[in-house]
Amino acid sequence: SWTPDMLPDGTKRYKMGAVTYSYERADGGAFLDGSVTVEETRNSTLTTTARTNFLNGVNTFDNEFDDLMSRNLKIATRHNGARFHDSFQYGGMIDASYKSVDNISSDLSATFSTEQAEVTREALENMYSSASSPLLESVINRSVTRSDSRTREWEISFAPDYRYKTRQGDYFFAGMWVNYKNTSEEIWKDYNINFGSNPIAAERRRQYFDNTPNHSFKIRGFAEYVMRIGDGRLAFNYEYQYSLRDKDSYMYALERLEDMGVFGSLPSGYTDTFDPANSYATRQFEHRHTFNPRYTWYHEYGTASALTLSIAPKLRLIRRHLNYLRDGREYPVTDNSFVTAIGNFGAYTEYAWGNKSNDERKKKYQNRLTAEYRLNPTSPEMTRMVSLEDTADPMNIIVGNPDLRNAYEHREKVEWIYTHPARPLRNTLSLTATQTVDAIVSGYTYDTSTGVRRTKSYNVDGNKMFMGTETFDLQFGRRQQFALTSTTSGTITDYADMIGVNMSEPTKSTVRSDYLSEKLRLGWQIGRQNIELKGEVMLRHTTSTRDDFSPINARHFNYGVLGRFNLPHGFGINADFTCYTRRGYGSRELDTTDAILNVGMSFTPRKSRWVFMVDGFDLLHQLSNVHYAVSASGRTVSYTNALPRYVLFTVQYRLNIQPKKK
């Protein structure tokens, strides 16, 4: 089931050690389990990105080279237990963790007025040292940045719960959850920015951020009562949540010193460079009351059909307040809202018919038809609603929008499942549609002369998706040795965004992408051997409301064979050969055919608990880690270093210890 999309970015060194325990009383009246885990990960990621910015009337083109080295250390412990009685039970969970993250990153990027072919890192580095560089004819800006960070975080949570069952069969649940998190963070940033063909940097900045204190406290309590009413169940649920967060960020503009010192070390007198305009102190709290009644009704009509109805609306009252202090001025933001949601359980109805047997153990309905509706609200982050500008990043200025509203996503789904009463045949047809009202998007105004973005959050309509999927499974043959699976799907997606050019007010731009795909798999089981043919075709058509948008008509073809063979004397072989083909993107880096061969071998000595395995991935060394994305704001193609071809050796020893019988 492995595909190139599962290839991780970068190269990784990973270490993990853990201790787990589990205890259960012989009578099943109590249990306790837990674990302590230590993990360390070191990543090295190199990413090359080519991006086309869709603008009204003119496009610009970004070329970017990113290097990131990170070290993550995590120590976590979790413990869970419960005590059971005839009519009630109680228990709880406690967990704690400590994280340490160190990042070293650098970025070299440039924006051009015309598309550049095969731009290299060296060409961008030496662009201003060579007056004959052809890149100077269309360059808008070049940016050389470095950003290092050091983060330490610890967190603890505690969650007791209680359950009680009445003699009438009703249930009562109650519980709470308490969480505290404390984070300390230091960030170093260095900017060198040139505009146009001028070799003298227009912006030379070095910044130090001290993001301390940064801690949060959350407490949530709930109570629920579930009762039987005829063929249905009615549940009343109330939940209260309180959260408090204090976060400060203090920036020091070190470029104001005559001697900035060495990057990553604080020079003497750095406190004199404190920048109040780009520093802030916040204190945010939230009260959330949620009433969630649920009703589910189920009724059987003889042995031929059954009907299920369920609805679970959420009525939520939210009061949020943010005290935001910046540059000696306070910006209070208060948001009181009453939102309605139909999520989690949703609102659905299911009708099943075609019952084959009256035997309760074998009761199967040939047909199931389900209709479901969900409504999910999303509240904007309060910091996006502060009416001010953040100019810490000279190329990306952040502007607040106090007029942001809640977004609502409507989701409808209809599904039909057919199961043949006598043959191993199953067919599933599902139709899903989503529409988002007042979607929260990050729009921007783009300065074509400098490449500077002024980013602002907006509410916009027009984000919607419709998807249909049909899956067919069949086993056939005298011994049911053949298996056929077919999956047909189609998707229509509209993405909306807000884009403006040269100080003009942003206007809505929409990109539509249509997908149609077909997957086929045919397997043949021969005793203990298995061979399978597979194929997939995907057609993509992308258009936009913009006049200067070039439609995309792309095609993906994947086809291959895989086998699993058990050989004599304990040997086994797994093999997977697949060709991944892309066409229609108009780029030689994307319009490729990659032939991927993965082979694994295993050996289990006779009457032994040992298993020896070796697996080889991408033995033909054909795989490249390419990512492609298109939205209303632009088209992005990125390449990331990876370790596609490797060999993995594994040794297992199977151990089974059982207590002696008394």
All residues at 6 or more sequence positions from 252 whose CB lies less than 8 Å from its CB, including other chains: 207, 208, 209, 210, 270, 271, 273, 274, 275
Evaluate if residue 362 carries a pLDDT over 60: no
Look at residue 516 in the predicted model and tell me its pLDDT.
98
Closest residue by Cα to residue 508 from 540, 551, 461: 461
Choice among 354-358, 530-534, 612-616 with the minimum mean pLDDT: 354-358
Look at residue 150 in the predicted model and tell me its pLDDT.
97
- Residue 493 is which amino acid? T
Q: Residue 274: pLDDT band by 50, 70, 90 thresholds?
A: very high
Place of tokens 């202090």: 325
Task: Give bridge partners of residue 647 from the DSSP assignment.
Answer: 616
Q: Please state the rounded mean pLDDT for residues 85-103.
A: 95
Q: Residue 365: pLDDT band by 50, 70, 90 thresholds?
A: confident
Report the distance separating Cα 45 and Cα 22, nearest Å: 39
Q: Residue 342: pLDDT band by 50, 70, 90 thresholds?
A: confident
Look at residue 661 in the predicted model and tell me its pLDDT.
64
Evaluate if residue 397 carries a pLDDT over 90: yes
pLDDT in tens, 187-226: 999 999 999 999 999 999 999 999 999 999 999 999 999 9
Q: DSSP string spanning 486-517?
A: EEEEEEEEEEEEEEEETTPPPEEEEEEEEEEE
Judge contact between 544 and 511, C-beta under 8 A. yes
Rounded to a whole number of angstroms, the distance between the first and last alpha carbons of the chain is: 46
pLDDT in tens, 483-529: 999 999 999 999 998 988 887 888 888 889 999 999 999 999 998 89
Alpha-carbon torsion angle 112, 113, 118, 122, nearest 10: -30
| Percent above pLDDT 70 for the chain | 95
Q: Please state the rounded mean pLDDT for residues 140-166.
A: 96
Q: Where are the alpha helices (DSSP H) in 457-598?
A: none
Evaluate if residue 348 carries a pLDDT over 90: no
Report the distance separating Cα 188 and Cα 251, nearest Å: 10
Evaluate if residue 252 carries a pLDDT over 70: yes
pLDDT in tens, 619-656: 888 777 788 887 767 888 888 887 777 888 999 998 77
Report the distance separating Cα 357 and Cα 342, nearest Å: 36
Report the distance separating Cα 459 and Cα 440, nearest Å: 5
pLDDT in tens, 171-182: 999 999 999 999
- The tokens describing 91, both together, are 């228990």
Q: Please state the rounded mean pLDDT for residues 469-491.
A: 95
Kindly report the pTM of this predicted structure: 0.85
pLDDT in tens, 95-104: 999 999 999 9
Q: Give, as one character, the DSSP assignment of residue 124.
A: H
Query: Around Cβ 648, how many Cβ atoms within 10 Å?
Result: 10
Evaluate if residue 30 carries a pLDDT over 90: yes
Q: Please state the rounded mean pLDDT for residues 59-76.
A: 96
Report the distance separating Cα 28 and Cα 40, nearest Å: 37
To 5 degrees, how large is the angle CA 379–CA 240–CA 297? 90
pLDDT in tens, 407-460: 999 999 999 999 988 889 999 999 999 999 999 999 999 998 899 999 999 999
pLDDT in tens, 566-590: 999 899 999 999 999 989 887 777 7
| Percent above pLDDT 90 for the chain | 70
Q: Residue 356: pLDDT band by 50, 70, 90 thresholds?
A: low
Kind plus residue range of the DSSP H or E element containing 630: strand 626-630
Q: Residue 359: pLDDT band by 50, 70, 90 thresholds?
A: low
Evaluate if residue 1 carries a pLDDT over 60: no
pLDDT in tens, 281-312: 999 999 999 999 999 999 988 778 899 999 99
Look at residue 631 in the predicted model and tell me its pLDDT.
74
Burial bucket for residue 497 (CB in 10 Å: 0-12, 13-18, 19+): buried
Report the distance separating Cα 457 and Cα 405, nearest Å: 10
Place of tokens 């992408």: 513
Report the distance separating Cα 305 and Cα 40, nearest Å: 55
Evaluate if residue 141 carries a pLDDT over 70: yes
Look at residue 280 in the predicted model and tell me its pLDDT.
95
Q: What is the mean pLDDT of the chain?
A: 91
Report the distance separating Cα 495 and Cα 498, nearest Å: 11
Look at residue 468 in the predicted model and tell me its pLDDT.
98
